[in-house]
Structure 1
Amino acid sequence: MTSALPEYHVSGSGDTTIFMLHGAYGDGRYFANTERVLADAGFRVLVWNCPGYGEEATPSDFSIDLAGDAAAALIAAEGTGTNIVLGHSMGALIAPNAAMKSEGRVHGIILSGASVGFQNRTPEDQARFLRERISPITDGGMTVAEYAPGLLKTMMAPGASGDLVDLVGKVVTEMKTETFMASMKALTSYNNMPATQAINVPTLLLSGEFDTACPPAGMEKLAEIIPDSEYHMIRDAGHYAFAEQPDVFHRLVIEFLNRRFGR
C-alpha cells in the first residue's frame, strides 16, 4: 500500500476482488463477519477506511468526489480480473462515483442500505435526517458516541440484537465526531444521480424492511434507474442488514456473484 492510498486490508485470494466501502457512521471494522464469509466463499476481499476514518486525519476538503477518487485509485492499484464494489450507506454513494472514474475496471456493484441521495429526498425527510444526525451535535453539544447508540436502535429492526449488531454499535461509538460531520456535509451536498444513471454493470440492491435511514422505497427507485439491476428487501432487518440478518444478506450477495460472474 502506498501513502497516496487510504487505509485498507485484504483477506482471501482469487481473481474476483470485492471492494467494501462503509457508511458515514463507523468504519470498515463492522464488515469483519461479511469479510470472513466472502473470503471463505473463495473471493478476495478488500475493506477500506474511507479518507478521514480510522487513524487518518479528516481531510479539510472531504467530499464524495474526493472519496470516489480515492476508491478509484484503490481499484486501479489492487484490482484483479473481476472487480466488484460493495457500498453500504454513504459507501453506496461512493461506489457508483468510483465506478464511473474507474475506466471499465469495475464489473459489478452491490448497494446496501442505499438512498436516492439527500438532494432527492422530500423536504420533510431532509429535515428529519438532519434533525436526527446533526442537531444533537450542533445544538446539543453531544459527540457521536453520546447520541448514536439511541439513533442506531431506530435505524434497525425492532429487537435487533447479537454480536454483529453489538459490533456495529461499538465501531460507530469509537469514530471521530469531526469525521462524521465532514461526511454529513459531503453527502448532503452531493447529487448522486449522474453517477447512478451512468451505472452500466450488473448491480445488486439490498434494503432492510425497517430501514429508516434509507427506506426501501428509495431503493425501489434506484432499481428503476439502474438498467441491469436486481432488488431485494430483507425482512426483519433495518439499515444494517449484514449484521441484523447476516445469513440472508450473504446468501443474496454470493448468489448474485456466482450467477452474474461465473463463480
Structure 2
Amino acid sequence: MILEVQGKQAYCYTGGRTFDASLPAIVFIHGAQNDHSVWALQSRYFAHHGFAVLALDLPGHGRSSGPALTSVEAMADWVLALLTAAGVEQAVLAGHSMGSLIALEASHRAPQRVRGLALLGTTWPMKVSDALLDTARSDEARAIDMVNIWSHSTIAHKPSCPGPGFWVMGGARRLMQRMSQINPEQLFYTDFAACNAYANGQAAADAVRCPTLFVLGTKDVMTPPRSAKLLTGAIGHGRIASVDAGHQMMSEQPDAVLDALYGFASKL
C-alpha cells in the first residue's frame, strides 16, 4: 500500500490482505539498513488473523521515498503521521532494534495512539562503537559484513531454519546490500548515528503506561538482554519473552517471535 506521508511516498506491506482500518491495527517497524521484509512471516500471519497490518518502509529504505531521516524523534513523528494517513487512530507498535526506539519515542509523543508496545532486540542507550560508526561512513560494504556476522547466533543454521533452502545469513546480507544500492547516501551511517544519538529513552520509558512486551534474544551480542535492564526496569509492568536467537531473531526464530507477538497483541 502506498500512502503520502509528510509530502512523500511511503510504502507499507499489508500482509497480503486489503488494509481495513476498522480492524485492530499493528505497525511493524524495521531496524537499521532493513525494510518491511524482515517481518515477512509475522506481518502475514497477523493480517490473516484479524489485524490490520502496516509493515512499513522508513523513509529512504525499501520502497519509501527518501531522504532517510536523521533522528529517532523525526522517525517517530513520521510513524505517527503514517498512522494518520492510513486512517488509524490507535495501534500496537512493534519495533526491532532501531525500530524499537522509534516505537518507544512515538508512544512518548502520542501515548493515546498506542495500544501496546512490543520492543524486540532493544536496549537504551543504543550506543554504537566508534569503530563501527567510522566503518559505516567510510566502507559501508565492510560495515554490512561486520553487522551481519554479529547479528546472528551461528553461521550454520539448521537446514530447516526457517525453511528448506533458506540461507539466513545470506538473506540478511543481501537485504542490507540492496538498501545500499537503492540509497547510496550513507544509509547505514545515518541509521547508526540516529540510534547512537537518541537521548530520550529514559524519559520515554518512564512515561509508558500501555501494555508492553520485550522480546530478547538469548544469544544477541548487538543488544544483549542484560543491556535492556534500564528499559525493563523503567517499564516495570512489561513482560519479557526470551527467544533462542541472536539479534536477527525474526529470521533465526520466526515462529518463536510470532508466538510471542501474537500472544501479546491478541489479548489487548
Q: TM-score range by the shorter chain?
A: 0.7 to 0.9
Distance 2:146 2:253 in 1: 20
- Extract unaligned runs of 5+ from structure 1: 120-125
Q: Structure 1 residue 54: deviation in Å?
A: 2.4
Distance 1:79 1:167 in 2: 33
Distance 2:67 2:222 in 1: 24
Residue identity in the other structure for 2:171: L
TM-score, with structure 1 as normaliser: 0.84
Instruction: Verify: 1:135 aligned to 2:137, yes or no.
Output: no
Instruction: Verify: 1:28 aligned to 2:36, yes or no.
Output: yes
Secondary structure of the 2:255 match is: helix
Distance 1:234 1:77 in 2: 34
Instruction: Verify: 1:158 aligned to 2:154, yes or no.
Output: yes
Instruction: Verify: 1:8 aligned to 2:11, yes or no.
Output: yes
Distance 2:73 2:90 in 1: 23
Counterpart residue number, 2:263:
255
Counterpart residue number, 1:123:
none
Residue pairs, 1:48-59, within 5 angstroms = 48-55=56-63, 56-59=65-68
Quick one: which of 169, 180, 198 aligns to 2:173?
169
Counterpart residue number, 1:38:
46
Distance 1:89 1:23 in 2: 5
Residue pairs, 1:1-263, within 5 angstroms = 1-4=3-6, 7-9=10-12, 10-11=14-15, 12=17, 13=20, 15-55=23-63, 56-59=65-68, 62-78=70-86, 80=88, 82-118=90-126, 129-131=129-131, 133-138=132-137, 141-143=138-140, 145-159=141-155, 161=157, 162=161, 163=166, 165=168, 166-176=170-180, 178-191=186-199, 192-235=201-244, 237-259=245-267, 261=268
Q: Structure 1 residue 215: deviation in Å?
A: 0.5
Distance 2:46 2:39 in 1: 11
Return closer, same or farther for 1:79/1:88 CA change in 2, 3 Å cut-off.
farther
Secondary structure of the 1:2 match is: strand
| CA displacement, residues 120-158 of structure 1 (integer Å, 9 cap, x when unaligned) | xxxxxx5xx332x323344xx422x34423431222112
| CA displacement, residues 80-134 of structure 1 (integer Å, 9 cap, x when unaligned) | 4651000100000100111222250111000000011236xxxxxx5xx332x32
Residue identity in the other structure for 2:109: K
Equivalent pair of 2:83/2:89 in contact (CA under 8 Å):
no
Secondary structure of the 2:45 match is: helix
Return closer, same or farther for 1:137/1:91 CA change in 2, 3 Å cut-off.
closer
Return closer, same or farther for 1:23/1:96 CA change in 2, 3 Å cut-off.
same
Among all aligned residue pairs of Structure 1 and Structure 2, give the percentage whose two residues are the same amino acid: 25
Equivalent pair of 2:94/2:103 in contact (CA under 8 Å):
yes
Distance 2:214 2:220 in 1: 14
Distance 2:120 2:178 in 1: 22
* Cα RMSD, aligned residues only: 2.2
Distance 1:6 1:210 in 2: 37
Q: Structure 1 residue 258: deviation in Å?
A: 2.3
Equivalent pair of 2:216/2:241 in contact (CA under 8 Å):
yes
Secondary structure of the 1:173 match is: helix
TM-score, with structure 2 as normaliser: 0.83
Return closer, same or farther for 1:160/1:206 CA change in 2, 3 Å cut-off.
farther
Distance 2:264 2:5 in 1: 34
Return closer, same or farther for 1:160/1:76 CA change in 2, 3 Å cut-off.
farther
Equivalent pair of 1:17/1:79 in contact (CA under 8 Å):
no
Q: Which range is displaced more, 16-25 or 156-165?
A: 156-165
Residue identity in the other structure for 1:75: L
Equivalent pair of 1:205/1:232 in contact (CA under 8 Å):
yes
Q: Structure 1 residue 75: deviation in Å?
A: 2.0
Q: Structure 1 residue 2: deviation in Å?
A: 2.0
